[in-house]
Structure 1
Amino acid sequence: MEKLAIVVPCYNEEEVLKIASEALRGVLDDLIRKGKIAEDSFILFVNDGSKDRTWELIEEEHQAHPVQVCGVKLAGNVGHQFALTAGLITAMDLSDVTVSIDADLQDDVAVIEEMIDKFHNGCDIVYGVRKERKTDTFFKRTTAQGFYKVMEMMGVKTVYNHADFRLMSKRAVEQFSKYQETNLFLRGMMPLIGYQTDCVYYDRKERVAGESKYPLKKMLALAFNGISSFSVKPISMILGSGVIIVLLSILAAIYALISYCTGHVVPGWTSLILSIWFLGGIQLMAVGLVGQYIGKIYIEVKHRPRYNIEKVLK
């Protein structure tokens, strides 16, 4: 019987941690009772440098349930994607299959059983996909859907309406561990692994307690990181824009020359100033975009550790 590890990245989740622990322990008990997972399956909470009592609560849960609840304490706040990676890599040597889920319980824990069933049928990766986004605000729903469409246009493979709620077999996690880049975007990396995949669908719920740890700023940063980490099309688009602007400039020069020769010159500087501003803006945008790519190369070539583990509760 396979040993399951449920990996839960946590950042300032003291309001919801005990609720999440109880719900996930209930899932483990149910799956063990049905004979679908091993009796020593466990939950692995990853504390991502929380500033509240999250780690203290993880320790309390571990003391109360030493077999079912384990913990990893990172030395500092490294971000959701790195914390999730730390949990997956740690769980890789301790389990046969992992399920990653956020602590806010907006993802439906009831479909974990369906994920396990698909795993037993030969799937190495099972994606949790939202049926719809009724619980999201209009702005978040619109921007999220736009993000997936932009990613598709850029040639990045992602699963539509999938976040980081997924099942991975041991060999899938082992393959993922070979991807050593620092600019992580797990939703785009998982399809690169290959192997047999499938999806389960669920209705996303309201957050049980606390506040979202992904405000607009972080959402935009994640979106840009996903695009720039997997596609060079933005640079190609800027090159194409530059070619178009050059052609338009040649046409404008021909028009100006004809106007000068025919004596139909209209005095004024507005068009000139607007042209300078427009071209200057395009140039600054192009330089900034190329600079972002160079910055990512700079970060990658340092090969610094992506996270430091301070303590592990097994």
Structure 2
Amino acid sequence: MIEEEQKITDRRGETVEENRKKGILYIVVPCYNEEEALLPSAKSLLDKLDALRESGIVSDKSRIVFVDDGSRDKTWELITQLYHEHWEITGLRFAHNRGHQNAILAGMMYAKDYCDYTITIDADLQQDINALPLFIEEYENGSEVVFGVRNSRNTDGFFKRFSATVFYKVMRFMGANIYENSADYRLMSAKALDALSEYGEVNLFLRGIIPDIGLKSSVVHFDVFPRMQGESKYSLSKMMTLAADGVTSFSIKPIRMVFGMGILALLVGFGMVIHIVYEHYFGYTIDGWSSILMSIWVLGGAVLLSLGIIGEYVGRNYLETKRRPRYYFWDVLSHDNTQSEGGENL
């Protein structure tokens, strides 16, 4: 006699497979000065969410959460308009600009109390929203985190392609568990969000933190389209800051490399001492300014570089020890509860 297959059930008595079907999805959209792109993007996301609900893929309680990262244009006014016109819309507003990573985190931390899973996507919708069902399918198959990975970088310029390639290779060399060409287009389950909430870093690099959580994960590949409205708000300085956060948050290899450079410089110095003594007794002792200048420039540059790297780590430790809030909500517009305004920090 063949025994019936035993199914794993949750605390509500539902099988795990059934419980992951038609879950509550919260789409988190960070925004910074996106007045030109916001309304077209909101329409596309609302249409997509309607299609997912009608097809029975997501729950009717699913929402879209726009996080205004201290915009200086009319972004918040447009989010307020959308909130009053559509019950699916939630708006979160920072008191001032706190950065793209904090905006993503704020939206996810808000959503974790209401949703079964979140999907984060940029406000310009360069990332293909038609990949949303693929993310959800991976979640229904048991993945707690689904990473979005770009199919190609054809829409980027040469400098951005080159710098991104170098960045990912450096991060892998430093020991970070990061997917090459990954983006902040990802799905995270409520379980993964609870785990992420335990991470207290002020200097956030979510692309490195989330893989370190260690829950079951999978990958979805997607296309990236040219930006249709407005200009990219991710400047070179912001990309450099993100790269610095990534390197210093996940590796002490630069400090160890400085230590290795110091040993190498010491060995070279000993070698130069032996060379000078030899030349003094057996060779020519002609004073030369070139060798002195070379020594000054090389060793001086190495010292300054070493101090800069160490200083970067010391500075970031200083920021972490202050334990200041990552962000502060100036306004909250939500149909999830009765509170529509007020402040909240994290």
The two structures have a TM-score, normalised by structure 2, of 0.89
Counterpart Cα distance in 2 of 1:263 and 1:142: 49
- The ranges of structure 1 where at least 4 consecutive aligned residues each deviate by more than 3 angstroms after the TM superposition are none
Counterpart Cα distance in 2 of 1:88 and 1:133: 27
Gaps of 5+ in 2: 1-21, 335-346
- Measure how far apart 1:217 and its partner are: 1.3
- Measure how far apart 1:251 and its partner are: 1.1
Q: Which amino acid aligns with 1:284?
A: L
What is the CA deviation profile of residues 105-131 of structure 1, one whole-angstrom value per residue up to 9, with x for unaligned ones?
111100011100110110111111101
Equivalent of residue 94 in structure 1, options 102, 114, 138: 114
Question: Is 1:13 aligned with 2:34?
Answer: yes
Q: Any residues of structure 2 matched to 1:80-159 within 5 Å, and which?
A: 80-159=100-179
Matched position secondary structure for 2:93: strand
Counterpart Cα distance in 1 of 2:283 and 2:127: 70
Q: Which amino acid aligns with 2:228?
A: V
What is the CA deviation profile of residues 191-213 of structure 1, one whole-angstrom value per residue up to 9, with x for unaligned ones?
11111101111121111211111
- Measure how far apart 1:224 and its partner are: 1.2
Equivalent of residue 248 in structure 2, options 193, 215, 228: 228
Matched position secondary structure for 2:71: coil
Which residue of 2 is the match for residue 51 of structure 1? 72
Counterpart Cα distance in 1 of 2:228 and 2:92: 23
Question: Is 1:167 aligned with 2:190?
Answer: no
Matched position secondary structure for 1:310: strand
Matched position secondary structure for 2:228: coil
Which residue of 2 is the match for residue 283 of structure 1? 303
Question: Is 1:305 aligned with 2:325?
Answer: yes
Q: What percent identity do the matched residue pairs reach?
A: 45
Counterpart Cα distance in 2 of 1:136 and 1:181: 30
Question: Is 1:38 aligned with 2:59?
Answer: yes
Range that drifts further, 279-288 or 181-190: 279-288
Which residue of 2 is the match for residue 237 of structure 1? 257
Counterpart Cα distance in 2 of 1:265 and 1:219: 51
Q: Which amino acid aligns with 1:39?
A: D
Aligned residue pairs total 313
Range that drifts further, 239-248 or 142-151: 239-248
Matched position secondary structure for 2:261: helix
Q: Any residues of structure 2 matched to 1:69-80 within 5 Å, and which?
A: 69-80=89-100
Gaps of 5+ in 1: none
The two structures have a TM-score, normalised by structure 1, of 0.98
Question: Is 1:184 aligned with 2:189?
Answer: no
